[in-house]
Amino acid sequence: MVLSNAEAIVVHYRSYETVAETVSTLLAEGFTTDTLTVVDTSEEPARREELAEALPGGTSILFTSNGGYGAAINHALDHLKRVRPELPAYTLVATHEVLPTSGDIQRLIDALESEPSAAAAGPTLVTGDDGAQIWSEGGTFSGRFSLPAHESFGELRAPTMDGPPQSREWLDGAFVLYRSALLDELRFDESFFLYMEETDLHLRLTRAGHQLLWVPGTSVWQSSGGVPPFYFARNLRLLFQKHPERFTSKIAVPAAVARRALSLALKKRDVNGIVQLGRGLGARVASSEVEPHVIVLNPLGGTLLHYEESLTSVLRAGGARVERLRVFEPSAGGGSKLDWVRNYIRALVSARRRSSAATSVVVLWPVLGYLDVILIRAIVGTRSRLIMHDPEPLVHAVGYDRISRGLAGLFARSSTLVSHSAAASSAIEASGWQGSVETLPHPIFDPTPTAPRPGAMPIVSVLGQYKKDRDLAALEEIAEGMAGEVELNVHGRGWPDVPGWRVDARFISEQEMDEVIAESAAVVIPYKRFFQSGVAFRALESAVPVVGVSGSSLDDLFGGDSDLLVSPGQKWSDAVQVAIRSGRSQAEAAARSWRARCVEAWRKGLAS
């Protein structure tokens, strides 16, 4: 039997007498020397030849500095991504002394195949000379302070052989089968160095919506001396720092360390162990990967739902833990404008209650214009950002007058506004705003290209509400220049009749917008001026090309010299024809580039 859909990574540190048997057992279970990699962190160059000779011929060995268990696995993943066309479906991570029972790996694979939502599966781990003691049947959080613990630890009995896979809160890192894509995406936090890094990773996997499975009917032997006192104290603190919601009390860590110290004193008289506990409790614990906590508050739950979801996707891709609060505007949720403002203030109060000193609160729309700065500063505090989509609104809006800006200016030095284009930032600064202005990219999902309707007349679409800055002359020129060649449709509330275009002058839902974009060969953004266009990003997410005016924020997406953009004196119809003929490749490339840029920019922006 050969496991064609799995790769194995064995982490080795100065256990030359056991690693060869572990590797041989894994090869007997279906891995090959091409799909099994030993990562040696021993830092003993003089013994590298000894290790190579002990292992089965052809075994791939990576020699690296000892950055810990997680660093070794991350290093192996990076290597495999360089040498493989793609990672296989599953990656087994094992330490250097484990010995699986025949068929265990296939049973773990079967468990993941039967549960698509599961990210990882682990076996029963046994220990002792005859394997008669249970080490772990998966991990939980138990006891008065909800500390990490192994299910069934220390029980003297045979492993459980019957029953379906069971959900667990974490799995022992000695032997775990992962979905490769998720392991590569979330990675181990190398700050732990040794012990509890798998607990951290598994908590992040479950937070992302994935299950972890313990699989009865498996039995993997391991030898372990437990967690060294220093790393017990230090890493428990680090785990608490990253996941405070998993502990029932702020004194959980010192209480657990005190109990461990008492045990060392009474049972082992281990003075050095107690000293090491103290060192670990006092050690600096700063994780480079402690997840930023971001609360996204959307006051336009109907209109900005897609925007909210795309920003959440960007923040999570950058490593943040995101909570969302949503308030529906009167047109979407009913009620009066006063009810809307009240609900918005309640949501700000809720954000304040949910936040800590390190939490960032991002408000997606100013309900009261610049006056929101006062509300947010008074209720939420300083670690907040207000996104200003339209510094100079194209329709009447409250809170953009000189008096409102003046009142908000009293809090300018402790408040941050966010715009999505350099032009918008310049407009904010030109208005007299004295506070901080960040220019961060408009969020976007990874593109999912759609195919145009085969054999049908191409559809060119305009979407969104009518505003006075819409360029009706541009639409008339398109209709004249492309009469009979394309189907021209306008969808949006308030539009007048446009010669040559079929106008659907009503509000269209999110689902309808997606359907219109998916069937379009091109989307036109007919503005004389605008700061950014959410419709443009929606189109690019489907790799549908966008036509608009040059000198706008579309320059950032396509480059100012793109033939999808219309300069003064050029015909809009010419750009639309380019979009229909060859614009999809430009659109998809622009979307992928923007997504990568967006994730990095928001990650750095919220960290500052």
Residue 67 vs residues 41, 72, 190: alpha-carbon distances, Å: 8, 7, 7
Tokens of 380: 């939420």
The region that residue 602 occupies, defined by phi over 0 for left and psi between -120 and 50 for alpha, beta otherwise, is alpha
Number of other CB atoms surrounding residue 9 within 10 Å: 22
Structurally, what CATH architecture does the domain formed by 6-226 represent? Alpha-Beta Complex (3.90)
Is the predicted pLDDT of residue 257 greater than 90, yes or no?
A: no
Q: How confident is the model at residue 471 (pLDDT cuts 50, 70, 90)?
A: confident
What percentage of the chain has pLDDT greater than the value 70?
96
> In the predicted model, what is the mean pLDDT of residues 210-230?
90
Give per-residue pLDDT as tens, 495-542.
999 999 999 998 888 778 888 998 999 999 888 766 667 888 899 988
Q: What is the CA radius of gyration of the chain?
A: 29
Is the predicted pLDDT of residue 394 greater than 60, yes or no?
A: no
Is the predicted pLDDT of residue 180 greater than 80, yes or no?
A: yes
Contacts of 497 (CB under 8 A, 6+ apart): 503
Q: Is 525 helix (H, G, I), strand (E, B) or coil?
A: coil
Give per-residue pLDDT as tens, 85-143.
889 999 999 999 999 999 999 999 999 999 999 999 999 999 988 888 999 999 999 88
Cα 138 to Cα 212: distance, rounded to the nearest angstrom: 9
Contacts of 588 (CB under 8 A, 6+ apart): 447, 449, 540, 543
Q: Give the CATH number of domain 459-591.
A: 3.40.50.2000
Is the predicted pLDDT of residue 256 greater than 80, yes or no?
A: yes
Closest of 75, 40, 38 to residue 56, by C-alpha: 38
**pLDDT of 291:** 64
Q: Answer for the pair 12, 44: CB distance below 8 angstroms, yes or no.
A: no
Cα 174 to Cα 92: distance, rounded to the nearest angstrom: 10
Cα 501 to Cα 503: distance, rounded to the nearest angstrom: 6
Q: Do domains 293-444+598-607 and 459-591 have the same CATH topology?
A: yes
Q: Give the CATH number of domain 293-444+598-607.
A: 3.40.50.2000
Cα 425 to Cα 469: distance, rounded to the nearest angstrom: 20
Tokens of 560: 């100012």
Dihedral, CA of residue 305, residue 311, residue 317 and residue 319, to nearest 10: -110
Q: How confident is the model at residue 210 (pLDDT cuts 50, 70, 90)?
A: very high
Q: Answer for the pair 320, 294: CB distance below 8 angstroms, yes or no.
A: yes
* Strand ranges, E, within 329-430: 360-363, 384-387, 416-419
Cα 42 to Cα 538: distance, rounded to the nearest angstrom: 51
Number of other CB atoms surrounding residue 165 within 10 Å: 24
Phi, psi for 324 (deg, rounded to 5): -125, 135
Q: Answer for the pair 238, 287: CB distance below 8 angstroms, yes or no.
A: yes
> In the predicted model, what is the mean pLDDT of residues 328-356?
86
Q: What DSSP state is assigned to residue 456?
A: S
- For helices 372-379 and 337-354, angle between their N-to-C axes, nearest 10 degrees: 30
Q: How confident is the model at residue 395 (pLDDT cuts 50, 70, 90)?
A: low
Tokens of 263: 């045990």
* Strand ranges, E, within 348-448: 360-363, 384-387, 416-419, 436-439
**pLDDT of 454:** 67
Number of other CB atoms surrounding residue 128 within 10 Å: 12
As a whole number, the mean pLDDT across the chain is 87
Residue 589, strand partner residues: none
**pLDDT of 183:** 93
Q: Where are the domains of the chain?
A: 6-226, 293-444+598-607, 459-591
Give per-residue pLDDT as tens, 267-290.
777 888 888 888 888 876 655 445
Which is higher by pLDDT, 171 or 430? 171
Q: How confident is the model at residue 453 (pLDDT cuts 50, 70, 90)?
A: low
> In the predicted model, what is the mean pLDDT of residues 599-608?
86
Phi, psi for 25 (deg, rounded to 5): -65, -40
Cα 316 to Cα 151: distance, rounded to the nearest angstrom: 31
Tokens of 463: 């979407």
Q: What angle do CA 81, 448, 543 make, to 5 degrees?
A: 115
Residue 235 vs residues 102, 195, 546: alpha-carbon distances, Å: 34, 7, 50
Give me the residue label for tokens 């959410």: 534
Is the predicted pLDDT of residue 84 greater than 90, yes or no?
A: no
Closest of 52, 68, 48 to residue 60, by C-alpha: 52
**pLDDT of 285:** 64
Tokens of 121: 């599966």
**pLDDT of 290:** 56
- Residue environment code for 381-398, b if the CB has 16+ CB neighbours within 10 A, otherwise e: eebbbbbbbbbeeeeeee
Q: Answer for the pair 327, 335: CB distance below 8 angstroms, yes or no.
A: no
Give me the residue label for tokens 């249970």: 134
Helix intervals (H) in 55-127: 69-83, 104-114
What percentage of the chain has pLDDT greater than the value 90?
40
Cα 441 to Cα 456: distance, rounded to the nearest angstrom: 35
Instruction: Record the pTM.
Output: 0.54
